[in-house]
Chain A
Amino acid sequence: MNLEEIKSQIEANVPGCSLEILPNASPSGQHSLLVDPEHALTVASFLRDGASPHFDYCSNVTGIDWPLKETSSKQKTKKIVDGVEKEVEELVKISTGNYLEVVYHLFSQENRQGPLVLRMRTGDRAERVHLPSLTPVWRSAEFQEREVYDLFGIVFDGHPDLRRLLMWEDFTDHPMRKDYVDPDDYEYEPTAHDEVLRRTQAHYAAQEALSGAEEAR
């Protein structure tokens, strides 16, 4: 199974869709296919029914959080300064991330091929977090999309029953996001170390400040 072939198959059959192959540099070489959310449902139906081989089974759905990451690097550019062309070093800021990603692993049980890794990205991490649900195409995605909604906060449009799966209804956070702040319940850590020790000490300091304020009253 060649990802390039599948990509050209989709492009030939789903007009207007934009696909991108995201390379995987690791020895497994498991490259993935980035699909634009507008055409994702059409692409998914084509992969299941029209493509060769038929991808009739979705084994895994998961989410990834890519927070905004800004890196700066020096780049040499030629500029005209006082009428003379000079090489000037400039700091170029590159910002990557700031989106949520959902990953689907597809298999063809018919031809025993796979996985085909599909990815979709949201617009940002706060407001534009809507993506089309692929549950109408692969029923096995239903609970896993609910889990991604619960833990990452990606809203799947067209999902038949989008509720939280693991946490309770009134819970407002999304625990698998990188910027999730977990509740401060570090009262008792018998073998605290590293991060846990830091949190424990912060907890005790906050408690002392609180009790000190009460005594002063």
Chain B
Amino acid sequence: MVATSLQELYNWGRKSSIWPLNFGLACCAIEMIATTMARYDLARFGAEVFRPSPRQADLMIVAGTVTKKMAPQVVRLYNQMAEPKYVISMGACAISGGPFKQGYNVLKGIDRYIPVDVFIPGCPPRPEALLDAFLMLQRKIDEQQLTGPGRPRHLQEEQPSEFVVPQYGQHDLTPTRNDAIWHAPLVNISNAGPNESGRD
């Protein structure tokens, strides 16, 4: 009974004062700024304080195209945030590379290097979509158990709180992905065309 109440209080406290990190990468950042302004007003959900320092932030909104040149800095900022920390991957570019997926200079999704809690598709997503992602994150925090196998990452000692920062290589970033957290989804590429020899 006491433990349940403590957990509810703890989760309520966490979910009601999620302070995002004050940074944006591309046009999605404009929508993120619009979300914080008077019309959409993210402050209604306790996230009005955008912190300029990763040490004071709980939430990283990766808003925009992550170029390979920018990726190490994004991962380093995430590593510098204090636990508990969350990530919203906002927009087509941040979740997969978007229209630049086959380009030479854009990372194919920030989830290759850091664990993402909520993905928002869209180019760019509407402020309502960001609010929806934010409410989804709040629900996710609310449902977390403080004990047991489903407890959040910062309460599991064996789980890392820092993730490998990619280095600039001669042709690409090294490593190209963090295999501990990112696995290529199983896709039947034979779905692409009737005459192609794909895989199951």
Contacts and interface: CB of A to CB of B under 8 A. Distances in A.
Interface in B166-200: 168-172, 176-177, 184-185, 187, 189, 192-193, 196-199
Interface stretch (B11-19, B58-66, B100-108): B100-108
Given A183-B176, A196-B102, A201-B198, A171 B168 contact: yes
B69 interface: yes
B105 A173 contact: no
B171 A188 contact: no
B187 A189 contact: yes
A166 B104 CA distance: 11
A183 B177 CA distance: 13
Nearest to A195: B102
A191 B105 contact: no
B53 to A, nearest CB: 25
Interface residues of A, number: 25
A160 to B, nearest CB: 22
A50 interface: no
Interface in B104-120: 104-105, 108
Contact of B104 (A175, A190, A191): A175
A49 interface: no
B121 to A, nearest CB: 12
Contacts of B198: 201
A189 B189 contact: yes
> Interface SS of chain A: helix, strand, loop or mixed?
loop
A83 to B, nearest CB: 60
Contact of B168 (A166, A169, A191): A169
A173 B104 CA distance: 10
Contacts of A172: 170-171
A38 to B, nearest CB: 34
Interface string B42-78: 0000000000000000000000000011000000000
B199 A185 contact: no
Contacts of B168: 168-171
Contact of B199 (A167, A182, A187, A204): A204
A193 B196 CA distance: 9
A191 B99 CA distance: 13
A192 interface: yes
Contacts of B170: 170-173
A197 interface: yes
A188 B105 contact: no
Nearest to A183: B172
A168 B173 CA distance: 10
Interface in A154-204: 166-173, 175, 180, 182-183, 185, 187-193, 196-197, 200-201, 204
B171 A190 contact: no
Nearest to A182: B104
B108 A167 contact: no
B187 A190 contact: yes
A187 B176 CA distance: 11
Contact of B184 (A166, A188, A191, A192): A188
Interface of A: 166-173, 175, 180, 182-183, 185, 187-193, 196-197, 200-201, 204
5 contacts: A175-B105, A185-B176, A188-B108, A189-B101, A192-B187
